[in-house]
A and B are shown apart, each in its own frame.
Chain A
Amino acid sequence: MRLLGETHIDFIALRKIAFFLSGVAVAVGITAIILKGGLSLGLDFTGGLEIHFKFKEAPSVLEIRSALTKIGLSKAVIQQYGSRQENLVLVRCAVEEASLEIASNMIAYRERKGGFTDLGELKGIPGIEAVGYENLVGIFTLDSSQTQKINLNQATEASLIPVIRQLFHRKTVARIEQVVGDELGRREGAFVVQSVDIIGPKVSQELQRKAYMAVIFALLGMLIYIAWRFQFRFAVGALVALIHDVFISLGALSLVNFDLNLPVIAALLTIIGYSLNDTIVVYDRIRENLKTHRKGRGSLKELLNLSVNESLSRTIITSLTTLIVVIVLFLWGGAVIHSFAFVLLVGIIVGTYSSVFIATPVVYAWARSETRRQ
């Protein structure tokens, strides 16, 4: 069986269209990320609340999800765990950021007014309803003789945050319990909250910093190896293709409103590896043809085209086989690895495209601008 016969497509001539399309795709991706205020970080990065429910009867994840959506927690992770008869459900949601915001809103208000004169003013602070005014009154005071309470006019932002956070958590849990109860028709004893944990981010700042360094070093190592085995401009072409793939994948992620979480990071690393592999296979063909056609009659353009066309059949087949796996994962892999499979799907398609339409034409464009300068 043969999918693709001999082809004679002039890929190099198509480079301007390709560069334009890619430029647009990257630009759209970056714009989408910027317009949404950066990539939305998943629980792995932010930490949050983890609530364990035990239901009397088998709960419907859909019902719980629709309940949580009502109070703005549409991104909460809802999982059934344990054995089927146990009816255990885990709800995880990010809440940290809001408490920071409320605390800084309170400080900002205080600075603007030169201090609170009445606790009632708290009602006007943006976002305060998420904590509950009535809860705050029990904790804060304006009277410095009351030592059991926190003096609102003296507290620093750093000391406010943990207090707000705790209230916030308590309130959030109460709200979650309530909406879940409402949604399930308030059947008495339909569920109990077994435990509430505050979870820290799985990916700490330190870990993030280390990861960035690792990726930068890895790219440098790759650049040096390709420059040594091929030529420097090939290394640049490969790098451009890589960055292109990663940005478009991230942009797509942002467009469909998926969070950046650990599985997505894993998918991005996979895409980098995949794109690199793809690009090098094409480059190798170019290198081989450069040797055999050295005395060649053909121009660099023809040679590049020949190489891409010769390896095209392999490029397509490899992509197809990989896509078989990824599409199956995407369709049937379940909710949690949906984002992982999605990024892989986008990345592999884009990665295949870029090894043909970006990596090789970049080498050509570079060579041409060099000859022009001479």
Chain B
Amino acid sequence: MFILGLVGLAIWAVYPPGDKIKLGLDLKGGIHLVLEADTSKLESSQDLRDAVNVALEIIRNRVDQFGVSEPTITRQGTGRITVDLAGIEDPQRAVELIGKTALLEFKLVDEKGDLKKALEGEIPTDDEVLYKYADGKPEPYLIKRETLISGRYIKDARVEIDSWGQPYVGLDFDSEGAELFAEITGRHVGERLAIILDNVVKSAPVIKTRIPEGKAVIEGRFSMDEANELRIVLKSGALPIPFNIIQNTTIGPSLGRDSIQKGLFSGIVGFIGVILFMGIYYRKAGLIADTALILNLLFLLAALAALKATLTLPGIAGIILTIGMGIDANVIIFERIREELRRERAPRSAVDAGYSRALRTILDANITTLITALILFQFGSGPIKGFATTLSIGILASLFTSIVVTRVIFNLLLARRPVKKISI
């Protein structure tokens, strides 16, 4: 019963395999980014290390919301961050999402200033010229430099759709931000408030009335994807300093798609070969071992799915090794039983003796390998770790299936009636 329950659980955990088992960067490909903090933009009050740490968290947030499995985001040296994303479909969007500073500012449009003169170079001291991009054409705005309120006060952001089906992003300020926003809008009724993201004007609506409830919207002819991206970056906050992407490498999978298919195909053929061999060589006992073997693989995959581990090529090597060891355990047991039978023991006691004698052998062999695997897991990294993970889980799974599961099946078969001969 217990075993059947486990099997059910395992199938549930693994199904559907395409979604549940994560493939690593080496099997699936993906992108590798190196971002470098733009230290020239570092303010004197900021510590680079702190700024990078904050940025790391923010980037992690963004990637999580983007829905990439198993991102690896690490800092490198003091001012760099590396991001590895496996199996991403639209690398360009991911790059934009990660690298965007996402500094949201609300500033007043200087309507008294002369935009024409400013474009010729005579910019009033407190102003700056920023652009809005509508249909790809830049539209200049003369903007007052002072930031009235920034994205720091954003509590929530979401994508909404207006009555023309056009998506926009709705913002909620936190209580402090709402107060500030109410005050600003109250003071500047009739003026135009520019909403600026990373120094690009998104929109510049006229303030019609004081807005007390701390809500704002950003419109700008977004596509649904763009609006969603904006929502993510606004919600996760602005990077404390801008980052430049200094390396953007698309990593093709080490194994191309056809190699994976070939590998998978030959793996299955080999697996069937083993199953046939065991069935022919050990007859019914071989079929019991085959059952154990299939369950072994199932449990292993289920554990990988449950632990959200990533399957890499070295990981597959670990699986091959555990399957080999699982078969070996059954071979050891069966050879022992045959030996006992040759000494003319009764089937049932031969099975008992075979199991008890083989047990120590199997345990010692597996524990030695398990120790090796655990040490590799502890001290190794990257590919070594992937190998150690599947090997450790695999050993536990194979010990259970090749000893406990086969024993239970034997007992069930032998308990029913007095047995004179067993098929082994």
Contacts and interface: CB of A to CB of B under 8 A. Distances in A.
A213 to B, nearest CB: 6
A202 B26 contact: yes
Interface string B358-385: 0011001111110111011011111110
B258 interface: yes
Contacts of A334: 255, 258-259, 262-263, 266
B270 A270 contact: no
Nearest to B362: A281
A240 to B, nearest CB: 16
Main secondary structure of the interface of B (DSSP, over half): helix
A1 B282 CA distance: 7
A121 B371 CA distance: 60
A321 B331 contact: yes
A1 B280 contact: yes
Contacts of B205: none
Counting contact residues on chain A (CB < 8 A from B), the size range is 35 or more
A80 B383 contact: no
Q: Which among B29, B332, B360, B368 has the greatest number of chain A C-beta atoms within 10 A? A: B368
A195 interface: yes
Contact of B249 (A197, A276, A325, A332): A197
Given A221-B371, A335-B259, A210 B314 contact: no
Contact of B376 (A200, A202, A269): A269
A336 B364 contact: no
Contacts, number: 227
Given A270-B321, A340-B317, A321 B274 contact: yes
Given A211-B384, A262-B26, A265-B314, A321 B364 contact: no
Interface string B274-307: 1001101111000000000000000000000000
A252 B368 CA distance: 27
Contact of B273 (A215, A225, A263, A324): A324
Nearest to B360: A284
Contact of A320 (B249, B277, B283, B339): B277
Interface stretch (A125-133, A152-160, A310-318): A310-318
A197 to B, nearest CB: 5
Interface in A180-201: 195, 197-200
Contact of A266 (B262, B273, B383): B383
B350 interface: no
A205 interface: no
B253 interface: yes
A340 B318 CA distance: 13
A329 B375 contact: no
A321 B262 contact: no
B384 A269 contact: yes
B212 interface: no
B252 interface: yes
Interface string B86-110: 0000000000000000000000000
A276 B368 CA distance: 8
A82 interface: yes
Contacts of A317: 281, 331, 335
A2 B266 CA distance: 27
A213 B256 CA distance: 31
Interface stretch (B12-20, B155-163, B322-330, B406-414): B322-330
Given A199-B251, A225-B368, A266-B313, A325 B379 contact: no
Contacts of A107: none
A270 B314 CA distance: 9
A280 B256 contact: no
A66 interface: no
A225 B266 CA distance: 36
Contacts of B321: 270, 273-274
A273 to B, nearest CB: 5
Contacts of B273: 324-325, 328
A214 interface: yes
B271 interface: yes
Nearest to B267: A329
B328 A333 contact: no
A203 interface: yes
Given A222-B371, A280-B364, A281-B365, A329 B324 contact: no
Given A203-B383, A270-B320, A276-B372, A50 B249 contact: yes
Contacts of A123: none
A79 interface: yes
B361 A218 contact: no
B391 interface: yes
A62 interface: no
B327 A321 contact: yes
Contact of A281 (B282, B332, B378): B332
Nearest to B386: A266
A366 interface: no
Contacts of A321: 274, 277-278, 324, 327, 331
B28 to A, nearest CB: 11
Nearest to B380: A214
A203 B382 contact: yes
A326 interface: yes
Contact of A274 (B262, B324, B382): B324
A367 interface: no
A173 B320 CA distance: 39
Closest 9 CB pairs of A and B: A325-B270, A334-B262, A79-B256, A266-B314, A266-B317, A214-B380, A328-B270, A214-B379, A284-B361
27 contacts: A50-B251, A52-B250, A79-B253, A197-B248, A203-B383, A207-B381, A214-B384, A221-B372, A225-B367, A266-B313, A266-B318, A272-B372, A274-B321, A284-B364, A318-B328, A321-B331, A325-B274, A325-B323, A328-B267, A328-B273, A331-B266, A332-B262, A332-B265, A332-B269, A334-B259, A336-B256, A337-B262
Given A265-B384, A317-B335, A318-B324, 8 more contacts: A226-B368, A266-B316, A318-B331, A324-B273, A325-B267, A332-B262, A334-B259, A336-B263
